[in-house]
Amino acid sequence: MRAIFPRQALSIAERLRDAGWIAFVALVLGVPMIGLTTVDAGNKLVVHTRLPLLMEFVAACFLGRLALRFSLDKFAQRKIERQAQEARRTVQIPARSTLPLIKWLGWWLLGAALVLPLMFSGNRYVVDTATTVLIYVMLGWGLNVVVGLAGLLDLGYVAFYAVGAYAYALLSTQFGWGFWQSLPVAGGLAAFFGLALGWPTLRLRGDYLAIVTLGFGEIIRIILVNWTELSGGPNGIASIPRPSFFGLPFQAPSDDGVQTFAGFFGLEYSPGQRVIFLYYLILLLALLTNLFVTRMRRLPVGRAWEAIREDEIACKALGINVVTVKLSAFALGAMLGGLAGVFFAARQGFISPESFVFSESATILAIVVLGGMGSQLGVVLASLVLVLLPEIGRDFAEYRMLLFGMAMILIMVWRPGGLLVRREPAIMAPAPMQARP
């Protein structure tokens, strides 16, 4: 910041000199790389010069540098002004409850989520993509407990997702358990794995914790690849039963007398019915997750999570047992990841270790960070961005990931704290006691 500040006042001559230097460097580099080229002349290589191209390159660097420097300085200047303004303002403004706009946006999104399958009932692709978004929303809300609230950087979150998915896959294929029966068991198992990860890493923070959790995620994946008897190894587990609607399966009517969903409600069977059912199922799970986490945040544990993120030593000095608070964050975050995993397995019908690679952890973490650590609605917006951008980008074929990366960088430049930075207090002073300005 300080290094850039004086440059705002650069004179035109100084700017030209700055750009001149860059052009010079471009020239030095450009001579061998652009200025000279080899041409295959019959049976030998001849060196040709490409002076016009070299000059174009140097000129582009010169002008580009001028523009870049100018816009960066303007940007920095505006930022400094804004900060000064904010510093003058912060103390007077009490942190209000959620901005009405944000609250409104949340309800609007919920409404849109509820009616989406009805509006696109014929369009399987839309409902499928929306289901994927919701899985990430749920994972983001779960990881938000660990990273956003408790401030514990977890790069191996996908491990718990995998534990949940494999737990359901095994329970259902080996023991014939149903979706709803498996859900609590798989959640509990994932929570147990959360404790297993949390316990040895209690003393670690920041980068060190990130590395250990990263390793943990890989360990789980590698176990799944190699323990063929249990997990089916790289082949994964197939024919996982799909969830049924209160015991009514979604399948074409058959002659063996099994009552199906379509049959029971007297509907024409269509495969889209299951897609829509799965969508509402994950919507329900995600909303329950949201309700749970929002409630927890307003309870003593939730406030202790945030307090630990803010200052662990102060927590100890206030008599808070940091060990149990951290473990509860790990366990609950893991449990929510596990529940999402159960849904994932039930939706796909087939799982293999390939679905639980590190890049999944990175995506979920990106959702939390991009959304604005700790913000529930931010997670939704970030999931929309992160799932929809690559989908929209399909038209751009091989430039897809490039565009995706650029969008991410732009968002972080534009909003370094995430899409929604504002933090809502977990408890507010009762109105009559609040002092008036």
Q: Residues interacting with other proteins, by CB under 8 A?
A: 90-91, 93-96, 292, 295-296, 299-301, 303-304, 306-307, 310-311, 313-322, 423, 425-430, 433-435, 437
Q: How far apart are CA 366 and CA 433, in angstroms?
A: 40
Choice between 47 and 313, CB closer to other proteins: 313
Closest CB to other proteins among residues 60, 195 = 195
Ramachandran assignment for 246, one of left (phi > 0), alpha (psi -120 to 50 degrees), beta (any other): left
State the angle between helix axes of 272-297 and 376-392 in degrees (0 to 180), rounded to the nearest 10: 150
Please give the C-alpha separations between residue 10 and each of 1, 37, 216, in angstroms, as whole numbers.
16, 39, 51
Q: Following CA atoms 129, 348, 234, 217 in sequence, which dihedral angle do they give, to the nearest 10 degrees? A: 60
At 146, list the tokens. Answer: 């660990």
Residue linked to tokens 């990860």? 197
Dig out the tokens for 404 from the structure: 């995706």
Instruction: Report d(CA 53, CA 49) in Å as an integer.
Output: 9
Q: What share of the chain is helix, strand, coil (3-state, %, to 5)?
A: 75, 5, 25
Picking from 261, 257, 296, the residue whose alpha carbon sits closest to that of residue 277 is 261
Q: Which is nearer to other proteins, 96 or 103 (CB)?
A: 96
Minimum distance from residue 87 beta carbon to other proteins (Å): 9
Q: What is the CA radius of gyration of the chain?
A: 27
Smallest gap from residue 319 Cβ to other proteins (A): 3
3-state secondary structure at position 296: helix
CA distance 412 to 389: 15
Separation of alpha carbons 199 and 84, rounded Å: 44
> Of 315 and 407, which has the nearer Cβ to other proteins?
315
Ramachandran region, residue 369 (left: φ > 0; alpha: ψ -120 to 50; beta: rest) = alpha
As measured in angstroms, the least distance from the Cβ of 311 to other proteins is 5
Residue closer to other proteins (CB basis): 313 or 413: 313
> In the structure encoding, which two tokens stand for residue 173, read together?
């294929």
Report in angstroms how near the CB of residue 302 gets to other proteins at its nearest: 8
In whole angstroms, the minimum distance from the beta carbon of 382 to other proteins comes to: 20
Q: Would you put residue 7 in left (φ > 0), alpha (ψ -120 to 50) or beta?
A: alpha
**Closer residue to other proteins (CB): 311 or 354:** 311
**Between 405 and 425, whose beta carbon lies closer to other proteins?**
425
Of 72 and 314, nearer to other proteins (C-beta) is 314
CB closer to other proteins out of 9 and 91 = 91
Closest separation in Å from C-beta 369 to other proteins: 16
Cβ 84 to other proteins, closest distance in Å?
Answer: 14
The two structure tokens encoding residue 396: 């751009």
> Given the complex with other proteins, which of 271 and 425 has the nearer CB atom?
425
CB of 426 to other proteins, least distance (A): 6
Q: Are 264 and 105 in contact (CB under 8 A)?
A: no
Nearer to other proteins, 109 or 320 (CB): 320
Q: How far is the CB of 180 from other proteins (least distance, A)?
A: 20
What one-character-per-residue DSSP string does 187-240 give? HHHHHHHHHHHHGGGTT--HHHHHHHHHHHHHHHHHHHHH-HHHH-GGG-B--P
- Measured from the CB atom, the residue of 194 and 217 that comes closer to other proteins is 194
CB of 314 to other proteins, least distance (A): 4
Distance between CA 264 and CA 247 in Å, rounded?
11
Question: Least Å distance between CB 206 and other proteins?
Answer: 17
CB of 233 to other proteins, least distance (A): 39
Q: What distance in Å separates the CA atoms of residue 24 and residue 62, rounded to the nearest whole number?
A: 9
- Which residues does residue 46 pair with via DSSP β-bridges, in sequence order? 39
